[in-house]
Structure 1
Amino acid sequence: MKFELKQHFQIESARFLPHLPPSHPCSRMHGHSFKIVLTLVGDLDPKIGWVIDYNDIQAHMKPLLALIDHRVLNEVEGLENPTSELLAKWIFDKARASLPMLTRVSVAETPLTECSYPA
């Protein structure tokens, strides 16, 4: 029996988008409170009664989030152009190594905008 779990995280980071024209506000350094949602799909362990312990998800994510929380994202290897789309893919690619049941990463840079990878 498959279940879908979601674990929410929040980071505070600064960035600028270097490929935009200078007149665009996002070409300048600015910050976001990024909301990150991991979606995992897996089978229920009938003995324990869950798919994975949420504490285990947090433990897997802690070192990864430390690389991007309260950082300038442009200075993180692989995030030189840190759009929300590329941030979602970067997190997915890194987190999937230790969380193979990860199926999606969603990133919201504001309460009104969100993207997911993969779609």
Structure 2
Amino acid sequence: MRIFNEFTFEAAHHLPHIFPDGHINTRLHGHSFRVRVTLEGKPDARTGLISDLGSVKSAFDSAHEQLDHRYLNEIEGLETPTLENIAVWLWRHFALSLPGLAEVGVYRDTCGEGCEYQGEFEMERKAA
């Protein structure tokens, strides 16, 4: 079974070194981001809960402080703030404090874009 909580943040970024000069994404611009944090597990027999969603909110509050109304390129680990890199950054932020973390989704709804990450690359790095 899976449960999730969603949050938003606003931030600016640009994507240097990915697109040719003059491409729209090489210029400074901003987005409204939506983040979905999904936990997976078996509900506790006594409480009926997989996890207290308040713990997800607490973990997100810390990330929100680092991301909201910020220039993402200045954040360590987000020098190239693609959807993919933001999802991995958030996964790393949540992994230690959220047992049962199954997926982090990062969406730019106004663009119809998003990235959903299940931590596969983290597991590959640990196995190597």
Q: TM-score, normalised by structure 1?
A: 0.92
**How far apart are residue 21 of structure 1 and its match?**
1.9
Q: Say if 1:88 and 1:106, in contact at 8 Å, map to a contact too.
A: yes
Q: Residue 79 of structure 1 aligns with which residue?
A: 78
> Within 1, Cα distance between the matches of 2:109 and 2:85?
16
Q: Residue 68 of structure 2 aligns with which residue?
A: 69
By percentage of residues, which structure has more helix? 2
Taking only aligned residues, the RMSD between alpha carbons, in angstroms, comes to 1.3
Aligned partner of residue 47 in structure 1, secondary structure: coil
2:4 to 3, 6, 11: 6
Q: Residue 30 of structure 2 aligns with which residue?
A: 31
Q: Residue 97 of structure 2 aligns with which residue?
A: 98
Aligned length: 117
Q: Residue 53 of structure 1 aligns with which residue?
A: 52
> Within 2, Cα distance between the matches of 1:24 and 1:81?
15
Q: Say if 1:15 and 1:31, in contact at 8 Å, map to a contact too.
A: yes
Aligned partner of residue 104 in structure 1, secondary structure: strand
The answer for unaligned runs of 5 or more in structure 2 is: 121-128
**How far apart are residue 47 of structure 1 and its match?**
1.3
Q: Residue 16 of structure 1 aligns with which residue?
A: 14
Residue-by-residue CA offset, 1:78-103 (whole Å, 9 max, x unaligned): 00000011100110111111113111
Aligned partner of residue 67 in structure 1, secondary structure: helix
> Within 2, Cα distance between the matches of 1:70 and 1:16?
14
Q: Residue 114 of structure 1 aligns with which residue?
A: 114
Q: Which amino acid aligns with 1:65?
A: H
Aligned partner of residue 70 in structure 2, secondary structure: coil
Residue-by-residue CA offset, 1:60-119 (whole Å, 9 max, x unaligned): 221122111110000100000000111001101111111131111111123411111137
- Where do 4+ consecutive residues of structure 1 move more than 4 Å? none
**How far apart are residue 27 of structure 1 and its match?**
0.5
Aligned partner of residue 61 in structure 2, secondary structure: helix
> Within 2, Cα distance between the matches of 1:38 and 1:56?
11
Q: Which amino acid aligns with 1:80?
A: E
By percentage of residues, which structure has more strand? 1
* Percent sequence identity over aligned pairs: 37
Q: Which amino acid aligns with 1:92?
A: W
